[in-house]
Amino acid sequence: MGNKYYMGLDIGSTTSKCLILDNSRKIITKSLANAGTGTSGPDRAVGSALNEAGLHSSDISFVVATGYGRNNAKGADKTMSELSCHARGAHYLFPDVRTVIDIGGQDAKALRIAPNGNLLEFIMNDKCAAGTGRFLDVMSRVLELDISELSNEALRSASPAKISSTCTVFAESEVVSQLSANTPICDIAAGIGLSVSSRVSALVKRLGAVSEVVMTGGVAANEYIRQCLERELGLPIKTSPLAQLAGALGAAIFASEL
């Protein structure tokens, strides 16, 4: 019998992620397009994953779509909530995970995970851009930094700037006035990181953090924020280069089980 392939498609608010597994649950390929729901992002993510794997859409046995835009996914056999998919994806990457912190483009979530990778309970902030990737995107634009440079800047800071506004619009004004006062960029970047980590750690504390703690979502690539969260929660926090793909990975795992 030939190999079978399973696709997970995570259509987020900001990015689209696609991942293909084979029937031994090996990751065949993955792709990310920097555009989310309602854009060409999902089609581009699927196209480049298929292309890279040398596969055609008819080679895929089952497709599970997840994420904010999952109900607009073309060609999906089933949709699943991103909560269950991030839980399952984090469990594949770290089998001992009990708590997942998922910070994406427009929300932040804390999940409690059962030993088998099932979701037990969760808590989320999707009401406000503070404490999400959107906050970082807005601030990095003001600082004229690429989103991937924000963490390295922050890690150089010995004296983080204080950013006290909870509202993203007011916090942006604070950043502008810090720039105008010649506060070093690294200190502003650190203040921005701390603003996100303090909001997210308050969310995680409401759920109660239990080891192992794993970060998923695009903001997991921000090492400074990961370190701040470790300090604020008093627990080690693991992450993976596949953190942003965790939802697509979980969706592909579900596709292989259905």
Instruction: Please report, as ranges, the residues that interact with ligand ADP according to CB under 6 A.
Output: 12-15, 36, 67, 104-106, 133-134, 136-137, 147-148, 217-219, 221-222, 244
User: Which one, 36 or 250, has the nearer CB to ligand ADP?
Assistant: 36
CB of 92 to ligand ADP, least distance (A): 17
SS3 state at 209: coil
The Cα 45–Cα 47 span in angstroms is 6
Place of tokens 């792709």: 31
User: Which one, 59 or 243, has the nearer CB to ligand ADP?
Assistant: 243
Q: Which residues contact 105 (CB under 8 A, 6 or more apart)?
A: 12, 13, 14, 15, 36, 132, 133, 134, 137, 218
Query: At residue 122, what are phi and psi to the nearest 5 degrees?
Result: -155, 165
User: Which one, 124 or 147, has the nearer CB to ligand ADP?
Assistant: 147
User: Which one, 69 or 117, has the nearer CB to ligand ADP?
Assistant: 69
Query: At residue 77, what are phi and psi to the nearest 5 degrees?
Result: -80, -25
CB of 39 to ligand ADP, least distance (A): 11
CB of 244 to ligand ADP, least distance (A): 5
Q: What angle do CA 46, 51, 55 make, to 5 degrees?
A: 90
User: Which one, 99 or 244, has the nearer CB to ligand ADP?
Assistant: 244
CB of 210 to ligand ADP, least distance (A): 22
CB of 60 to ligand ADP, least distance (A): 21
Place of tokens 């998923």: 216
CB of 191 to ligand ADP, least distance (A): 16
Strand blocks (E) in the chain: 5-11, 16-22, 27-33, 60-66, 78-79, 99-103, 108-113, 119-125, 213-216, 237-238
User: Which one, 55 or 123, has the nearer CB to ligand ADP?
Assistant: 123
